[in-house]
Amino acid sequence: MVDKILHEFVKECGYPRALDMFEKISSGKKLRSKLILKIAGQNEISLRLCAVIELIHLASLLHDDVIDDSTIRRGKPSINALYGSKNSIMLGDILYSKGYYEIVSLDPQIAKIVSKAVLDLSIGEMMDVDLGSKFSPNLDEYLKMIELKTAVLIQAAATSAAMIAKVDAKAYGIYGKNLGLAFQIVDDILDISADETTLGKPAFSDYKEGKTTLPYIFLYNALNLDDKEILKSLWGKELDENQTKWIKGKFDEFNIVHKCKEFAKELGYKAIASVSDEGLKEIVSSMIDREF
């Protein structure tokens, strides 16, 4: 149903080329929609909210792929790889604009919450670019960036769904924020632990793209001074087999994946503690309690 509404939304824009490009976007798992429907149930308002949130999320990914020069998204060619960066940016703008156009038909307070989340998301994207200009092992900066870039939209989805369901929006917002933080950290772990087929992109691509994610922050803080310099020297570069092997060896030596997973679990526990919904607890468990 959400896919059907999304298709209609983009079709209503009246530009067949935009619809053709939109249909080439590799569809994800729709975590945000699943969360909304789990909280608010399936009805006309909740489905419309799902479609708006998905439009915004997809728009952010289109822009993100251009910023990162990513040619693969979820195992398939990215839109910028297929149509070029200019088209990818403009399609993202169309999806953002359509999302805002549709959101005005929802409760004004929900529109305000989602719009603020998009503002924060854009700031998070800029923070990500700024942090990507240098090796940045600052944990607080990293956590703030992923809160804005990833968690705020998931938090807005949970809060808005709770408002539709007339339950404690603040509690569900806490759930959404911590779920979003854990979600991003799990994604960071998978970049260093999953194979390319599972990941849908080359492994270790985060570090090559200049992203100092949680595993590298934890590793840097565990290394001696000489090894710290080696790790910094590999940042933002194409890694050869020996360099990748060195980093993997250090990850294993200091049990970094386990430490990151425990960090994500703590966030998951905070999410679970804020609500009593068993279905929402299962979302957290299925994301974190897995093989890396």
Which pLDDT score, from 0 to 100, does residue 33 have?
A: 96
Whether residues 282 and 169 fall in one domain: yes
- Domain match, 84 and 17 both: yes
Rounded to the nearest 5 degrees, what angle is found at the Cα of 7, between the Cα atoms of 60 and 17? 75
Count of H-run helices and E-run strands, the chain: 17, 2
Instruction: Report phi then psi at 195, rounded to 5.
Output: -80, 165
pLDDT at residue number 49: 98
Domain boundary among 56, 73, 106: 106
What lies within 8 Å, CB to CB, of 247 at 6+ separation is: 192, 204, 207, 219, 231, 234, 239
Enclosing domain of residue 36: 1-106
88 and 160 together in one domain? no
Q: How many angstroms separate the CA atoms of 173 and 169, rounded?
A: 6
Note whether residue 157 is domain-resident: yes
| DSSP alpha helix (H) spans, 69-147 | 79-83, 85-103, 108-131, 139-146
134 & 82 share domain: no
Question: Which residues have a Cβ under 8 Å from the Cβ of 57 and sit 6 or more positions away?
Answer: 32, 153
Q: Is 231 found in the same domain as 95? A: no
Co-location of 94 and 142 in the same domain = no
pLDDT given at position 288: 81
30 plus 57 within the same structural domain = yes
pLDDT value of residue 36? 97
Choose the final residue of a domain: 82, 106, 130: 106
Distances (CA, A) of 237 to 146, 170, 222: 22, 42, 21
Residue 113 lies in a domain: no
User: Domain holding 11: CATH number?
Assistant: 1.10.600.10
Are residues 166 and 241 both part of a single domain? yes
Per-residue pLDDT reduced to its tens digit, 93-128: 999 999 999 999 999 999 999 999 999 999 999 999
Mean pLDDT by 10 residues, the chain (292 residues): 96 96 87 96 97 96 91 86 95 96 95 97 95 94 97 98 97 97 94 72 83 97 98 94 95 97 96 92 84 50
pLDDT computed for residue 188 by the predictor: 94
Q: Which residue has the tokens 């408002």?
A: 163
**Is residue 289 a part of any domain in this protein?**
yes
Total domains, the chain: 2
pLDDT at 292: 46
User: What pLDDT, in 10s, does the model give residues 46-67?
Assistant: 999 999 999 999 999 999 999 9
DSSP 8-state symbol, 198? H
Domain final position from 106, 130, 148: 106
